Structure 1
Amino acid sequence: MSDEKKGFEEEDYQNYLKESLNEVSGVHPYSEKSQTEIVTIGKNMARRTNIMISLAILLLIVPIMTLSTYMYYAIGGKAEHLIDVVTKTIYVTEPNMGLEKLRLEDEIGFFSMNIKFDVFKRIGKEDYKAGNYEIDFLLDQPSFPKKDMLLDRPLPEFPSEETEAMVHPDARIPFIESDQWDILKKIPDGTVAEVYVSLNKVMKPEELKNSLPKDMELRWLAVDTGMDAAQVDKDGVPITPLGYPAQYDPTIWSPFRTDDGSNEEVFLDIISLLSKNEVVAEKVARAKSLSLESRLAYIKKHGIKVYGAVITGPKEELRKLQDVKDIRAMKVGEVKLWNWE
């Protein structure tokens, strides 16, 4: 073998040994800068992979959560049931107030529902927008309503003994009655108004209707529920009056548009419904205690008798209420331009 060939073989062998030693000793054939770049590239690839996996999981979760929410509110008519409780609470806890259920807006979110609706008052012969409500539900738990009221003389947001507009015969009148009659007298002629009247005694609805002058409209009746004299529940928390519209309501969305029953029967059905959903009803109502179960039991035992009412009509006619012996006190509500024809 030639010396030149033998030299090449020894050189190859030496190179092979160096590579083997480098592998064994952990010495990398790359420079420190190259190693840093390789590690950085690996980290970036791992980060991108994690992001893509997370996005894929989220893209799967979002439609699953959305579908689950729609199923929750759809199965058994949960959304419609909650809306029904909210709207009926307005009718029986807010004197002379109703709403257009067909114009109610609802929106489903992640395990939540938002509803918005306008409320109206009948002053004279026309319905006027009284304000709007917005309520958020987390599953079936409502938030306190966000309200934007447009009334000149709104009822207080949180009722108390000192702010009631209709008062039980056994309770103290919290305002000066003569001042309210003076206000009614000083309202300009050619206007219509809404007034809250308190009675000298509890009576049947028909008795009250028959005692009123003719050219006015009885709008809402405050029902004696056994707690209205004290105006608080057993724990001392202020309650709100319970009542119902006195007139047949022809609007198709109203629960008091009934052809086969009286408003009294509808009222009892609503109170029974709300007593099973009192958490929702108490959030919607101005008073944060309704005590519906005990008040419903009292009404069923003693029958429907009323101690107050909301009446609307021309100012000149409403003045005649001062001569009605069954009326103990009156408080002026909203006033509008003439619309009685």
Structure 2
Amino acid sequence: MKKDEVLSDWDESQTPLEDRKQAKKLVWRTRFSIGFTVIRTLLLLLLVYVLYVSTIDIFYNMSGKQAAFDRMATTLVETRTPGITIEKQGMSREATITPFLTQQSTYSVYRQVGDWKVSAGEATVKKRLFGKVQYHLDEQKKYLDDGFTNNFPVAPDLLGKTSAEKGQSGFSLTEQLANVEDGFVAQVKVGVKKGMTPEKLRQLLSRYDLEINQMAVYSGEITNYEVSYSQAGQFTFISPLILRPAHEYDEENKLSSWRLFLTNKQSLAEAEKQLIQDLEWLTEHGRYYGREIDQKRLEYLNEHGIQVIGAVVTGPVREMEKLEQEEQLYQLQLGGIEVWNWNK
């Protein structure tokens, strides 16, 4: 007799009650046994996962990789973004290393307006195991279109052209500040009509009651290698390398000290030396977007020295107005205004 015929002829009611109970108990025992095995397997996998993640985290922190990652993140963001500084206190509070070995840290950034550190958002820096370092700046803007871009006009003489006429981008700075009372400070971005050394620009700006946050460096863009740029009339704009105040690191790449401004001669000289060191360190140790450009920048700066095409400064609004009358400055842009906080 075939198996199907046996099953079709079988009547459960004809099976003794005691056997049916035993069969049901056996079925439930089997179900509980399978379920318990699945739960134990899941708990074991969870334990293995926790141990794996903990081991990665401990190794990551003990290896010093976080310090090197912080250094790279800080250098990349601050040497590419005018007017923006990463807050060094409590750096990388949200540092993480994923099970897939992706490094990611989030940093608070600010704009220096007078003596205020004005919160400007966050910078998130990420590096996958076999990928390149990349960062995203989630910038908080008071105005949707404040005109404070990453671009600076290139001094025409550096491009082999005649000197530029004095010109403005958007509203006149004087017009913008005309109805602002004395008790305010501002951040302003300025361009220079001719390329000059950082020290020469420092001396020019030392006539005014202000602090120099950063300077924009010309490092061979357009003339020595191709980069993206824009033009508006006679002006050519690029996103230049930014000369920031000097940062000191120990042998383990941990930040030991840093300056806030470029206003005095010593701090500026230290910043110039640090810029070359930063580029050397980045191109030697980093895999990031723009590394090839930085190698060309480093070659240009080693051959021609550092020349600047602008600066980001801060100070009382009345002093910022005076900058528009300076013959060697042009393309002034207002970055922000805050109530008085000035102790220079």
1:316 aligns with one of 310, 315, 318? 318
Q: Does 1:205 align with 2:204?
A: no
- Counterpart for residue 282 of structure 2: 274
How far off its partner does 1:217 sit? 2.1
In structure 2, relative to structure 1, the CA distance for the partners of 1:88 and 1:76 (3 Å cut) is: same
- Counterpart for residue 294 of structure 2: 292
- Counterpart for residue 49 of structure 2: 62
Q: Does 1:225 align with 2:213?
A: no
2:229–2:238 CA contact under 8 A, matched in 1:
no
| Amino acid corresponding to residue 179 of structure 1 in structure 2 | F
Structure-to-structure mapping, 1:25-104, within 5 angstroms: 31=16, 33-34=20-21, 36-38=23-25, 40-104=27-91
- Counterpart for residue 180 of structure 1: 172
Q: Does 1:126 align with 2:77?
A: no
In structure 2, relative to structure 1, the CA distance for the partners of 1:117 and 1:246 (3 Å cut) is: closer
Long gaps (5+) in structure 2: 1-13, 231-236, 249-254, 261-265
| Amino acid corresponding to residue 95 of structure 1 in structure 2 | P
How far off its partner does 1:339 sit? 2.2
How far off its partner does 1:189 sit? 2.5
- Counterpart for residue 189 of structure 1: 181
Give the secondary-structure state (helix, strand or coil) at the position aligned to 2:68.
helix
**Which structure shows the higher helix fraction?**
1
- Distance (whole Å) between structure 1 residues aligned to residue 198 and residue 46 of structure 2: 60
- Counterpart for residue 245 of structure 1: 244
Give the secondary-structure state (helix, strand or coil) at the position aligned to 1:323.
coil
- Distance (whole Å) between structure 1 residues aligned to residue 191 and residue 72 of structure 2: 28
Once the two structures are superposed, residues 173-222 of structure 1 have per-residue CA deviations (whole angstroms, 9 ceiling, x without a partner) of 9x844733343442513122111111111110111122232322222100
* TM-score, L = length of structure 1: 0.71
Long gaps (5+) in structure 1: 1-28, 283-287
- Distance (whole Å) between structure 1 residues aligned to residue 145 and residue 75 of structure 2: 20
- Distance (whole Å) between structure 1 residues aligned to residue 225 and residue 313 of structure 2: 22
1:117–1:134 CA contact under 8 A, matched in 2:
yes
- Distance (whole Å) between structure 2 residues aligned to residue 253 and residue 78 of structure 1: 16
In structure 2, relative to structure 1, the CA distance for the partners of 1:340 and 1:302 (3 Å cut) is: same
Deviates more, 1:182-191 or 1:224-233: 224-233
Once the two structures are superposed, residues 68-89 of structure 1 have per-residue CA deviations (whole angstroms, 9 ceiling, x without a partner) of 3124413531122112211222
In structure 2, relative to structure 1, the CA distance for the partners of 1:96 and 1:229 (3 Å cut) is: farther
- Distance (whole Å) between structure 2 residues aligned to residue 186 and residue 87 of structure 1: 36
In structure 2, relative to structure 1, the CA distance for the partners of 1:36 and 1:176 (3 Å cut) is: farther
In structure 2, relative to structure 1, the CA distance for the partners of 1:118 and 1:330 (3 Å cut) is: same
1:246–1:263 CA contact under 8 A, matched in 2:
yes
1:181–1:330 CA contact under 8 A, matched in 2:
yes
- Distance (whole Å) between structure 1 residues aligned to residue 144 and residue 292 of structure 2: 24
Give the secondary-structure state (helix, strand or coil) at the position aligned to 1:93.
coil
- Distance (whole Å) between structure 2 residues aligned to residue 292 and residue 219 of structure 1: 22
Larger radius of gyration: 1
- Counterpart for residue 337 of structure 2: 335
How far off its partner does 1:135 sit? 4.3
- Distance (whole Å) between structure 1 residues aligned to residue 90 and residue 44 of structure 2: 38
- Counterpart for residue 14 of structure 1: none
| Amino acid corresponding to residue 116 of structure 2 in structure 1 | E
- Distance (whole Å) between structure 2 residues aligned to residue 290 and residue 332 of structure 1: 32
1:223–1:243 CA contact under 8 A, matched in 2:
yes
How far off its partner does 1:53 sit? 3.8
In structure 2, relative to structure 1, the CA distance for the partners of 1:139 and 1:247 (3 Å cut) is: closer
- Counterpart for residue 147 of structure 1: 138
Once the two structures are superposed, residues 220-248 of structure 1 have per-residue CA deviations (whole angstroms, 9 ceiling, x without a partner) of 10011111679962899x97321123589
| Amino acid corresponding to residue 78 of structure 1 in structure 2 | K
- Counterpart for residue 23 of structure 1: none
RMSD of aligned alpha carbons: 3.9
Deviates more, 1:57-66 or 1:194-203: 57-66
1:106–1:113 CA contact under 8 A, matched in 2:
no
- Counterpart for residue 7 of structure 1: none
Identity %: 20
Once the two structures are superposed, residues 133-165 of structure 1 have per-residue CA deviations (whole angstroms, 9 ceiling, x without a partner) of 344555585665362525447778xx9xxx554
